[in-house]
Amino acid sequence: MKNLALKRIQDMKPYKPPINGRASYDGLLLDFNERTTGPADAVVFSLRQFGRDQKIQLYPEYFDLPDKIAAYAQVDSSQVMITNGTDQAIDVIFRTFSGEDDTIIIPVPTFSMYAQYAQINGNKILSPLYSAGDLDFPLKDVLDAINDSVKVIVVCNPNNPTGTLLPVAGIERIAKKAKDAIVYVDEAYYEFSGVSAVNLIGKYPNIIVSRTFSKAFGLAGLRIGYVVANNKYISEMLKVRGPYDVNQLACLAGTVALTNVQEVESYAVEVMKDAKPLLENFFLKNNIKFFHSAGNFILFKPDNAKLVADTLRRSGIAVRPQDKPNIKGTLRVTIGTRPQMQAFIGAYQNLMRTSYLQKYALVDRDGTLIYEPPDSRQVDSLKKLRILDGAVEGLKRLQDAGYQLVMVSNQDGLDTPLFPLSDFEPSQNAMLSAFAKAGVAFEQVFICPHKSQDKCACRKPKTGLVDDWLKTARLDTKQSFVCGDRASDKGLARNLGLPFVSMIKNGNFEDAIKERIAK
Return the half-sphere exposure (C-beta side, CA atoms, 13 A cut-off) of residue 93. 35
Q: Please choose, from the candidates 278, 408, 298, 439, the residue with its C-alpha nearest in 3D space to the C-alpha of residue 345.
A: 278
How many whole angstroms separate alpha carbon 151 and alpha carbon 99? 9
Tell me: pLDDT of 77 over 70. Answer: yes
What superfamily does domain 268-355 belong to in CATH? Aspartate Aminotransferase, domain 1 (3.90.1150.10)
225-228/80-83 β-pairing: antiparallel
Q: Region 409-437: what's the mean pLDDT? A: 91
- Angle CA(326)–CA(329)–CA(332) in degrees, nearest 5? 90
Element (H, E) at 429: helix 421-437
Helix, strand or coil, per DSSP, at residue 491: helix
- Whole-number pLDDT of residue 175: 98
Q: Which fold has domain 7-18+35-262?
A: Aspartate Aminotransferase; domain 2 (3.40.640)
Contacting residues for 25 by C-beta, under 8 A, at least 6 apart: 318
Predicted confidence (pLDDT) per residue in 349-407, tens digit? 988 876 567 899 999 999 999 999 887 778 888 889 999 999 999 999 999 888 999 99
Lowest mean pLDDT among 34-38, 74-78, 370-374: 370-374
In this prediction, residue 340 carries a pLDDT of: 97
What's the pLDDT score for residue 58? 85
Phi, psi of 369 (to 5 degrees): -110, -35
Q: Which of 150-159, 223-232, 283-292 has the lowest mean pLDDT?
A: 283-292
| Residue 264 near residue 191, CB atoms below 8 Å | yes
265 within 8 A of 55, measured Cβ to Cβ: no
All CATH 3.40.50.1000 domain ranges in the chain, comma separated:
360-518
CATH superfamily of 360-518: HAD superfamily/HAD-like (3.40.50.1000)
- The 3-state DSSP composition of the chain as helix, strand, coil percent (nearest 5) reads 40, 15, 45
| Closest residue by Cα to residue 154 from 118, 203, 195 | 118
DSSP, residue by residue, 200-240: GTTT-TTEEEEEESSSTT--GGG--EEEE--HHHHHHHHTT
244, burial (CB in 10 Å: exposed 0-12, middle 13-18, buried 19+):
exposed
% of the chain with per-residue pLDDT over 70: 99
Residues of the chain with CATH 3.90.1150.10: 268-355
Q: Which residues pair with 211 in a beta bridge?
A: 226
Mean pLDDT estimate for the chain: 93
Each residue's pLDDT tens digit, 11-32: 888 887 777 778 888 899 999 9
Q: Where in the chain is the domain with CATH 3.40.640.10?
A: 7-18+35-262
Amino acid at 208: I
Task: Tell whether omega for the bond before 66 is within 30 degrees of 0, i.e. cis.
Answer: no
Write the pLDDT tens digit of every residue in 429-486.
Answer: 999 999 999 999 999 999 999 988 898 999 999 999 999 998 878 788 888 999 999 9
At CA 115, angle to CA 112 and CA 119, rounded to 5?
Answer: 140
SS3 370: strand
- For residue 410, the SS3 value is strand
Q: Tell me how far apart the alpha carbons of residues 159 and 135 are, in angstroms, rounded to a whole number.
A: 10
Gap between the Cα atoms of 479 and 358, Å rounded: 8
**DSSP letter for each residue of 92-148:** HHHHHH--TT-EEE--BS--THHHHHHHHTT-EEE-PBPPTTT----HHHHHHH--T
With cut-offs at 50, 70 and 90, classify the pLDDT of residue 518.
Answer: confident
Residue 22's pLDDT is what? Answer: 82
Angle at 442 between CA 436 and CA 446, to 5 degrees: 130
Residue 404 identity: Q
